[in-house]
Amino acid sequence: MSILDKDILKKGFINLCTAKAMAELYEANFKQVSKYVHATSRGHEAIQTAIGMQLLPQDYAFPYYRDDAMLLSFGLKPYDLMLQLLAKKDDPFSGGRTYYAHPSLKDADKPKIPHQSSATGMQAIPATGAAMGMKYIEQQGLTNANVIQKASEASQKNPITVCSLGDASVTEGEIAEAFQMAGLKQIPILFLVQDNGWDISANAAETRAQNAFEYAKGFHGLEAITIDGADFTESYEALETVIKTMRAERRPFLVHAKVPLLNHHTSGVRMEWYRDDLEEAKSRDPYPVLKQQMLDGGFSEADIQAIEDTVKATVQSDFEKALLAEEPKPEDLFTNDFAPIPITEEVGERSPKGADKVVMVDCALFAVEELMKKHKECLLYGQDVGGRLGGVFREAATLAQKFGDDRVFNTAIQEAFIVGSTVGMSAVGLKPIVEVQFADYIWPGLNQLFTEVSRSCYLSNGKWPVSMILRVPIGAYGSGGPYHSSSVESVITNIRGIKIAYPSNGADLKGLMKAAYYDPNPVVILEHKGLYWSKVPGTQGATSVEPSEDYVLPFGKAWILQEIWKQENIETLTIVTYGMGVHWAMNASEELGMKDQIEVIDLRTLFPLDEETIMKSVKKTGKCLVVTEEPSNNSFARALSGKIQEECFKFLDAPVMTIGSENMPAIPLNSVLEETMIPSTKKVKVKINELLNY
């Protein structure tokens, strides 16, 4: 094997020694540092150092929780990492919100690191999204606003994405989605798989039919190599070749690096409890290997000892300093859950003179078309939205023909990828609009929506909000049956960190779609299929005059669709609802001849929720009915009813009531059973009379 340049060897050895010294210090001070769980790179340092030394500021890295040596090789100091180890206020990644070696970084002189979660393998889809975004930026001639453009030779090199994984995580289904799309799309992503042979206490023989190198052979277009990741020189040279190829040829690679695990799985799961291979693992320690390579490269024992002494002193000094660093204050809990928004007021013409009435689905289509004309960073993808079909509801019709297959394209049947890839797309400065074809099929995407999308802004301390729109056709319509009719808003509203719209008409949908685009935070838009074309009797109100192109409707502003005045001698009530419920409520009040007794509030957005408008109305009318299409038990609507009861108790003349679907596991296919299951104008009328007569 060749001998590396002395500067590379020295830099690599310093980094390895630093990571090793930190692991040893943590073990020696276990009682002080074990308050918060952590894992270290001990045994993995050589491969992590070799990759980190070769990444540039325009590159993106998605490390995992054992990658502290990689972070050091990016230029971070032991003190920086120790602030996170001890969950201090000035932790540069999260401000004390998340674990050691869970980085997020936007420094101008270092590779960019979007928020990293603890879920093993979850970073693979966001990382693949970032690489897809890089390719798209190059195709469209755009620039990444998160990367400072410089004139240096290094700055002119094409960027790559690195996704670091443990071999055990490669058994996750979401890894297959990432590998599939990387090979299919031929994007510049490097999957670096560090294989130490262990999950926690389960070993590779128990849990894996093959290692990552063997597995990758099944994905055409994904080239894979396997190396000794405990050998710094072998690792550096192999990665140098791979990275050079990727920067030139813009295609994916997998590097499988065999390494020993020389420390505990984490501080809370100690290796001596279950490991039977500790002596064998110690025989593959990367430290003596690199030390010998230093000697072969012309360094003396004295040179090496001096490096080690300096490193240990620095690590000890940084630790003592970190122990004294400031703790977060209670009020720090409440910052950076969302990024600041530009849209706070309704702007533009909602009903332009002479404009045609447009069905709800077309209001959304025209909104997306206007956005794509104006913003090249806007792209649309999901199942069947491409040029052949334009969406199963024609919600993307003609867009691929107008903007090209690079901007509007089909994905595989991969809800997790559709949702999670937006994290990477957003991180490179794009604005993806994606679609899950039916609400019933959102479940595989919830891992990514909850773990990656919703928490990114908060856990990166505001650095990496995920700017995306997820469109979800929802609700029962025309005997869709148990797998095409579900309502899922109660699950979605329990995910903090996302905004949720559920409009009842086309004008609102267009205005909210525009506001969502300009919102730097993640937005889910629930679009009722039964309102798309106003084919359901009584839903003609969903068809609207198309608002002007500049019309935007801010989130968190409910609409008093039917307003009444305070009356002393007649019973009145407020109906609070959204989506299809708006039409049931309006039709019911009209058929009962009670339009002067019933105030109807269309929430428009479920989060943020316009509590002020709701409470003011209920305090005026004295009674309240919350209408939803979901089964009412344990639902968003039931929780809202409880909130209204709590806030308005002194003003109420009756308990707050809720009407929703029957509390059965699924909506049946048969039309009689479906009608029995879900609410209707008739059922809402009965509930109104019950409440008014209470």
Indicate which residue of 102, 256, 265, 484 is catalytic: 484
Q: Is 484 among the residues known to form the active site?
A: yes
**Residue whose structure tokens are 């505990």:** 264
Residue 379: C-alpha distances to residues 206, 285, 403, 453 (Å) = 43, 47, 9, 18
Give burial (CB, 10 Å; 0-12/13-18/19+) of 531: buried
The closest of 86, 105, 71 to 38, measured between CA atoms, is 86
H-helix or E-strand spanning residue 193: strand 189-195
Helix 6-28 with 286-296: angle, nearest 10 deg? 150
The closest of 92, 128, 144, 101 to 463, measured between CA atoms, is 92
Query: Taking phi first (over 0 means left), then psi (-120 to 50 degrees means alpha), and beta for anything else, what does residue 534 get?
Result: left
Task: Give the phi and the psi of residue 378 in degrees, each rounded to 5.
Answer: -90, 130
3-class DSSP assignment, residue 474: strand
3-class DSSP assignment, residue 587: helix
Residue 381: C-alpha distances to residues 125, 256, 391, 409, 413 (Å) = 15, 31, 10, 5, 12
Which residues does 47 contact at the CB level (< 8 Å), separation at least 6? 192, 194, 227, 229, 230, 235, 257, 259
Structure tokens at 464: 């990496």
Query: Distance between CA atoms of 276 and 271, rounded to whole angstroms?
Result: 9
Q: Are β-strands 357-358 and 544-545 bridged in parallel, bridged antiparallel, or unpaired? A: antiparallel
Radius of gyration over every alpha carbon of the chain, rounded to an integer in angstroms? 28
**Residues catalogued as catalytic:** 484
